[in-house]
Structure 1
Amino acid sequence: MTAPRRPIAEMPLRVRYHECDGQGIVFNAHYLAYVDMCSFEAEKALFGSHDAFLAHGADVVVAEANLKFRSPARYDDDLVVSQYLNHLGTTSLIFDFEIHRGETLIAAATIRYVFIDPATLRPQAPPEAVRKVYATLLGD
């Protein structure tokens, strides 16, 4: 039996009134903001801070984003965003995100990030120290 994946980060949040649309549900673009917020929590968990990550001489940019909506979130809902490493490539990595309200999965996202040189903004392989941190999350 395979052990369940452990998230890199789990970020609780409460839906704010201004995040809801005229239908009374969270406007779709806010889910990407939730995922982005969680990705910074993961950087803190792995490297200590965003600045500590940048000190390695690398940064990441979003190259692709996919969202699947399962159930609407509404004002004052308590949510938890969880982040998992799915794939580590030569110059990119893919994370899966799950957004839950209690036990209910309300949205899932898959985001592909590309490592870049912060000075040139061109794709580059991550420094070995950064690669090692992510590689340990994948295990074998």
Structure 2
Amino acid sequence: MAFEWPLRVYIEDTDAGGIVFYANYLRYMERARSEWLRSLGFEQQALMQAGVRFVVRDLNIRYRKAAVLDDQIVATTELAEITKAGMTLNQTVIRRSESAEKTEERTEELLVDAQVRVACINNEGRPAAIPADIVALMKT
């Protein structure tokens, strides 16, 4: 099951035409990854102090539709694979209709989907094993 992080598109996210600037989808996905870790009980700052850092190693992204000013969107994160020193995450950004929140039936449009490979590194920037407690929680 994917972790979801709700967002709204603000004027600062858009270009002159009110369309989300393409690089901002990467910011939305970064927030969803950070909040996913937080939901598992891991704060980024505490991880860094413990010598555990997660960095994007590779990214494959597909832009399907544009988000626009005032859209309610959701960035998702789902673990696809985990290795000793990295993981692959499937991430999406979807648009949800306002009425969807008030009913059991949701209207969603896929805007962006990406496969993100994340590496675990230590404070010196070298590959490091993901601690076992983090792996265990990620797999739940």
Partner of 1:12: 6
Once the two structures are TM-superposed, the CA of residue 55 in structure 1 deviates from its matched residue by 5.2
The residue number in structure 2 matching 1:42 is 36
The two structures, once aligned, show a CA RMSD in angstroms of 1.6
Residue by residue, what CA displacement relative to the aligned partner does 1:9-49 show, whole Å, maximum 9, x if unpaired? 21111101121123431110000000001111101101242
| TM-score computed with the length of structure 1 as normaliser | 0.84
> Mind listing any 5+ residue stretches in structure 1 that lack a counterpart?
1-5
Query: How far did residue 63 of structure 1 move?
Result: 0.5
Normalised TM-score (structure 2): 0.84
Mapped contact 1:56–1:127 kept (Cα < 8 A): no
Name the SS for the 1:126 alignment partner.
coil
Correspondence for 2:78: 84
Instruction: Give the Cα–Cα distance (whole angstroms) in 1 for the partners of residues 95 and 83 of structure 2.
Output: 31
- Aligned match of 1:106 in 111, 116, 128? 111
Q: How many residues are aligned here?
A: 129
Q: Spell out the pairing of 1:1-140 with structure 2 (5 A cutoff).
A: 6-7=1-2, 9-54=3-48, 56-102=50-96, 103-118=108-123, 120-134=124-138, 136-137=139-140
CA distance in 2, matches of 1:23, 1:64: 30
* 108-117 or 19-28, larger mean C-alpha shift: 19-28
Distance in 2 (alpha carbons) for counterparts of 1:132 and 1:99? 26
